[in-house]
Amino acid sequence: MNLAARGAASRWLLLVNPDARIDTGSVGRLVDVARQQPGHGLYGGKFVDIVRQTAEDSVAVLPSLANLAGFATGIGAIARRLGWRSAPRRSAAATEPTAVDALPGTFLLIESDAWHAVGGFDERYFMYSEDLDLSLRITNTGRRPMYVPAASIQHAGGASTSSGSKEVLKLTSLVTLLRAQWSPRRARAGEGLLLAGIAVRRLARLRANTPDGRWETAWRERGRWRAGW
C-alpha cells in the first residue's frame, strides 16, 4: 500500500483484503459518502465473516486497560456470552454512516491527503494492528473515521493461518501498537494483562487435557511476541 500510494495521484486509496469479495455497488457507496461528508480520512464498509456469519468486526475495537483487564480475568468473555457488546460492536450494527474511533483495514477507502499527512502505514508491522495504528494516527490529525454499512464485502476470515501462529502474529502486533500509542508505563501494564490472560487460558486447556492450540502456542512463544516487531 505504501509503495502504491507513492505513485498514486487519485483523491482516494482503496484497501481490500485479498480473501474478500466486494458486493455489487459497494465501492461506489463508499465514494459517495466520502464525497458528501469529506474530511473523515477513513471510510470503512461492512464486512461479513462468511465462516461465522457475523458483521460485528466491521468496526475495530481499540485496546484499553479496561478490555485487557477483561481478557486477563475472563470477565470480558463472560460478558459477551451474556449478550453484552462494546460500543464498537454496537456501532457495527448501525444502518447509516456513523463516526467511530477506528476501522479495520479489511475494506477501507482512504482520503489521500489524510494518508499522506501521517505517512501511510507504519512499516514496522508485518501483519495485524497496522490498521488500528493508522486509525489512531489519522484521528490525531483531527479527523474521525466513518463506518458506512451500506457498502459491504464477504470476507473469508483469515483461514490461511493456523490458530497458534495467527495468535502469535496478532499478539506481536498488539504489543507493538501499545508501545507506539501508549506511555511506557501503561504499555507495560497492558502487556502484563495480556500475559495473565494467556496463562489463565493455557491452564484451562491443560486441565482439559487439550494442551495443543492457540493459547499453548502463545504461551510457548511469549518471548517472541513480547519483543514486538
The rounded mean pLDDT for the chain is 91
Cα 91 from Cα 60, distance rounded (Å)? 10
Residue 54 has pLDDT above 90, yes or no: no
Cα 45 from Cα 152, distance rounded (Å)? 5
| Beta bridge mates, 109 | 14, 43
Cα 217 from Cα 163, distance rounded (Å)? 9
Q: What's residue 148's pLDDT?
A: 97
Asked whether the beta carbons of 132 and 186 are under 8 A apart, the reply is: no
What is the residue whose three cell numbers read 489463565?
Answer: 200
More confident residue, 12 or 52: 12
What is the residue whose three cell numbers read 501462529?
Answer: 165
Cα 155 from Cα 57, distance rounded (Å)? 11
pTM score > 0.85 for this model? yes
Q: What's residue 157's pLDDT?
A: 63
Question: What's the Cα-to-Cα distance from 205 to each of 80, 95, 129, rounded to whole Å?
Answer: 20, 39, 27
Question: What's the Cα-to-Cα distance from 177 to each of 54, 180, 181, rounded to whole Å?
Answer: 26, 5, 6
> Worst-scoring range by mean pLDDT, 75-84, 88-97, 118-127, 164-173?
75-84
Q: Which residue, 44, 56, 57, is CA-closest to 145?
A: 44
Question: What's the Cα-to-Cα distance from 184 to each of 15, 63, 179, 188, rounded to whole Å?
Answer: 31, 15, 6, 6
Which three-class secondary structure state does DSSP give residue 49? Answer: strand
Largest interatomic CA distance in the chain: 57
Which three-class secondary structure state does DSSP give residue 81? Answer: helix
